[in-house]
């Protein structure tokens, strides 16, 4: 992680692996979820003469998510593919082997979205259930245990979910009723239940109703509620809750100064929202990740001057989609801004994408992925293969994810 001059406290090595995520939709672990004719995972056939890799057929990707050092995507058949760091089973392929190209997550055939945390992943199904896999040290898989899982398991008690979002070691689901449920690590109050007690099964977020969007950061969580107002809770050491203070809260607080929000994103120690076509950001800004042209932390939202239709926040960077263009700001130590350099930027700079972007930018700890032309393009850190290009070479320009 790049050293900064920010006054924000240094995080542990675990926290540095973080990446936020974005909303999703999926399948309960039952026989109804198991595809009788699943898309085959990548397999290897060995003969005495050669080794041949057989890749699954290409599909169109409908949504992408980026975690600490792994990435996942949903395809138009309802399947989920993941790639990158797999030490704790975050790729869901029943192994702990890192992958530099996508592999199929077992047993999921009708996913509509996927989310990625530091070392775990979750998917939602149209039926409203949630499946999770990977690191479960804090109960973030929601199955009532703290056992890691390298294959998907059902989250206990979740029905009617319409979105899912993951933080460093906590997970949250937005219900169709406008309520939210969270589970996992709660050391900073990021579950919003008025305590700092970790939960291995979902717990209700206190006082939250009418929510239309949900975003989990490393150890904080934010929501858009009816009328476009914002609520955040959890760690506030850098002002990432946006209430003008640096006091953490285990229940939702009103974010000051923003109305009419249509989307929200949360990262390691910062948050951003889109209101109208304007991007607002707040929290840690030691390397310019708020995109305001400075490196001063902001405990209350401020307009960045950057127009956008969608925004994503990562470890120490942020990206917006402005029409079909992607623009990024913040740390660039591993090329995560995608501008062909490793120079940090305190204002949003255009990514040379080589095509039109769609959807919400997906930002990991130090890598970025977006939908491009029915496939996925990624750039930045690639130490575990999280860019999906078949290598472990960092990239400061976008590269296509292979096989999808």
pLDDT in tens, 104-131: 999 999 999 999 999 999 999 989 999 9
Q: Measuring CA to CA, which residue among 86, 33, 38, 30 is closest to residue 59?
A: 38
> For tokens 């395809």, what's the residue?
75
Domains of the chain, start order: 15-38+57-400 (2.130.10.30)
Residue 34 has pLDDT above 50, yes or no: no
Q: 226-272, pLDDT tens digit by residue?
A: 999 999 999 999 999 999 999 999 999 999 999 999 999 999 999 99
> Given pLDDT bands bounded at 50, 70 and 90, which one contains residue 89?
very high
For residues 301 and 273, the answer to whether their CB atoms sit within 8 Å is: yes
Q: 320-334, pLDDT tens digit by residue?
A: 999 999 999 999 999
Identify the pLDDT of residue 2.
Answer: 32
Q: 135-174, pLDDT tens digit by residue?
A: 999 999 999 999 999 999 999 999 999 999 999 999 999 9
Identify the pLDDT of residue 30.
Answer: 27
Identify the pLDDT of residue 136.
Answer: 98
For residues 124 and 164, the answer to whether their CB atoms sit within 8 Å is: yes
H helices within 219-306, ranges in order?
A: none
Q: 385-396, pLDDT tens digit by residue?
A: 999 999 999 999
Q: Which H helix or E strand runs over 359?
A: strand 357-363
Identify the pLDDT of residue 260.
Answer: 97
Identify the pLDDT of residue 126.
Answer: 86
Cβ neighbourhood burial of 245 (10 Å; 0-12, 13-18, 19+): middle
Q: What is the pTM of this model?
A: 0.87
Q: Which residues touch 82 (CB under 8 Å, ≥6 apart)?
A: 70, 71, 72, 73, 90, 91, 92, 93, 99, 102, 103, 105, 116, 121
Identify the pLDDT of residue 58.
Answer: 61
């Amino acid at each position: 992680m790049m050293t900064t001059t920010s006054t924000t406290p240094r995080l542990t090595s675990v926290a540095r692996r973080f990446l936020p995520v974005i909303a999703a939709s999926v399948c309960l672990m039952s026989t109804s979820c198991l595809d009788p004719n699943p898309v085959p995972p990548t397999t290897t056939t060995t003969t005495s003469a050669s080794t041949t890799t057989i890749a699954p057929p290409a599909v169109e990707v409908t949504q992408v998510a980026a975690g600490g050092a792994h990435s996942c995507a949903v395809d138009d058949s309802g399947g989920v593919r993941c790639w990158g760091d797999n030490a704790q089973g975050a790729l869901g392929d029943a192994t702990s082997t890192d992958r530099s190209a996508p592999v199929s997550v077992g047993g999921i055939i009708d996913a509509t979205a996927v989310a990625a945390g530091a070392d775990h992943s979750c998917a939602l199904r149209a039926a409203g259930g949630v499946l999770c896999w990977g690191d479960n040290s804090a109960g973030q898989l929601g199955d009532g245990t703290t056992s890691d899982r390298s294959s998907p398991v059902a989250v206990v008690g979740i029905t009617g979910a319409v979105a899912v979002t993951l933080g460093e070691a906590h997970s949250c689901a937005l219900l169709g009723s406008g309520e939210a449920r969270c589970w996992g690590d709660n050391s900073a109050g990021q579950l919003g239940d008025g305590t700092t007690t970790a939960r291995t099964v979902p717990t209700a977020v206190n006082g939250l109703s009418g929510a239309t969007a949900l975003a989990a950061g490393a150890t904080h969580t934010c929501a858009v509620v009816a009328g476009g107002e914002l609520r955040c809770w959890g760690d506030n050491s850098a002002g990432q809750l946006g209430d003008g203070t640096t006091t953490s809260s285990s229940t939702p607080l009103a974010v000051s100064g923003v109305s009419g929000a249509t989307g929200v994103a949360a990262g390691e120690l910062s948050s951003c929202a889109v209101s109208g076509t304007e991007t607002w950001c707040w929290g840690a800004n030691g390397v310019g990740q708020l995109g305001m042209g400075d490196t001063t932390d902001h405990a209350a939202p401020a307009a960045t001057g950057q127009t956008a239709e969608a925004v994503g926040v990562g470890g120490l960077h942020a990206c917006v989609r402005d029409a079909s263009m992607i623009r990024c700001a913040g740390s660039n130590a591993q090329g995560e801004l995608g501008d062909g350099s490793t120079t940090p930027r305190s204002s949003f700079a255009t990514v040379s994408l080589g095509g039109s972007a769609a959807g919400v930018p997906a930002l990991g700890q130090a890598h970025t992925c977006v939908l491009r032309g029915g496939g996925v393009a990624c750039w930045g850190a690639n130490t575990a293969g999280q860019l999906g290009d078949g290598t472990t070479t960092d990239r400061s320009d976008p590269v296509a994810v292979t096989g999808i």
